[in-house]
Amino acid sequence: MRSCMALRRLSWLLLSILSGLCLAFGPPRLTDSDLPKQSLTPDQLRAMRQVPLPQITAASAMLINTTTGEILYARNERERRAPASLTKLVTALVALQRGRLDREIRVADTDLAVYSAADMRAGDFYTLRELLFFLLIPSDNAAAMTIARGLAGDVRTFVGWMNAL
C-alpha cells in the first residue's frame, strides 16, 4: 500500500514537473546575437517586400507580439481543439500508476489502427518502459493504444482510469 502511494505521489510530481516545463519556458525570444550585424540596404528591403507571404494551412493559428501582447494574426482562435499530447502525458501517468515498467505487453492488430511512429508490428512484445518511450519521445499513437489495452484489457477501461484522476 505504501509503495502504491509513493508511486502515485511520484507520478503526480512527474506530471507537475512536465507541465511546469511546458509552461515555464514560453516562446523563444530573439537575442542580440540573432539580430543582423548591419542594416539592410534599400534594395534588400524592396526585394524582401516582393517575397510572397507563406500560406497558412493550419485549421487554427495565432501570431502574437510577445512584447506588446498584440494579436497580429488569428484564424479560428476560439475553436475548440483536441488536447493532443496532453492526453499522452495523462496516459503515461496512468500507466506509471497502474503498471510495472518491466511488464511485457504484446502489440495487437487493433493497436495498429492508428499511426505507429516507432514502426511497431502486431505480435511484437515491448516492456511498459519501452512503450512509454515510444509514447513520449516520437509521440507514438499505437504505443498509447497498446499501453491502454495491455494494462486495462480495453481502451474504455483505461480511459475511465484517466478520467478518475
19 is catalytic: no
Where residue 69 falls (left for φ over 0; alpha for ψ -120 to 50; beta otherwise) is left
Cα–Cα distance list, 59 to 68, 75, 105 (Å)? 25, 7, 36
85 is catalytic: yes
- Cell 500560406 belongs to which residue? 55
Q: Which of 16, 19, 60, 85 is catalytic?
A: 85
Listed in sequence order, the residues at least 6 apart from 63 whose beta carbon sits closer than 8 Å to its beta carbon are 71, 72, 73, 74
Task: Look at residue 70 and give its three-state secondary structure.
Answer: coil
**What is the set of active-site residues?**
85, 88, 139
